[in-house]
Amino acid sequence: MDTSITLAIISIFLPFGYFLFLTAKRMLLSPVSKWTLNHGFSVISVLGCILFIVQKILNNPYEFDFDFFIMDKINLKAGFLVDESNVDYLIYSMLAFLVVSIFCSFYFKNKKQFIFTRQRFYAFLSLICFNTILFFTSATIIQSFVFFALQGLIIYIFSYFDIYKSTTNYNLNRFYRIYLLGDFAFLGAILVFCKYASISNGYIDIAELNYSNLDSLISYSYGLNNYAEFALGAFCFFLAAFSRLFIFPLNCFYSFSINSSNPLYMTLISASNCALGYFLFLKTIPYLEIMGDNRIYFEIFIVSTIIITLILMLFEKNLKIIFGQVFSIINALFILSVCYFDSQVCLYIFFILTIILTLAVQKLFLLDVISLKKRPVELRKGFFVEKIHIYTFEKFPTFFSDIFNILTKKVNFSVIPFIFRGFDIIASFLIKKFTKNSRIMTLRNILIIFASVILFAIFITLFGNFQEI
- The 3-state DSSP class for residue 63 equals strand
pTM of the predicted structure, to 2 decimals? 0.78
State the chain's mean pLDDT as an integer.
Answer: 77
pLDDT value for 466 = 41
- The 3-state DSSP class for residue 71 equals strand
What are 75-113's pLDDT values in tens digits? 556 677 888 888 889 999 999 999 999 998 888 887 765
Per residue, the 3-state secondary structure of 341-397, as one string, reads CCHHHHHHHHHHHHHHHHHHHHHHHHCCCCECCCCCCCCCCCCHHHHHHHHHHHHHH
What are 349-374's pLDDT values in tens digits? 999 999 999 999 989 888 888 877 77
Q: Could you tell me the maximum CA-CA distance found in the chain, to the nearest angstrom?
A: 74
pLDDT higher than 50, residue 432? yes
Helices and strands, number each (H, E), in the chain: 19, 2
pLDDT-derived band at 128, boundaries 50, 70, 90: very high
Mean pLDDT computed over 28-36: 81
pLDDT-derived band at 435, boundaries 50, 70, 90: low
CA distances from 191 to 124, 194, 281, 288, 444 (A): 31, 5, 18, 20, 12
**C-alpha dihedral, 428 to 430 to 435 to 441, nearest 10°:** -150
Q: How far is the first Cα of the chain from the last one, in angstroms, to the nearest whole number?
A: 50
pLDDT higher than 60, residue 142? yes
- The 3-state DSSP class for residue 139 equals coil
pLDDT higher than 80, residue 236? yes
pLDDT-derived band at 71, boundaries 50, 70, 90: very low
List the beta bridge partners of residue 65.
79
Beta strands in 226-357 (DSSP E): none
Contact assessment for residue 8 and residue 81, using Cβ atoms and an 8 Å cutoff: no
Question: Which residues have CB under 8 Å from 222's CB, separation 6+?
Answer: 230, 290
pLDDT greater at residue 269 or residue 423: 269
pLDDT higher than 60, residue 244? yes
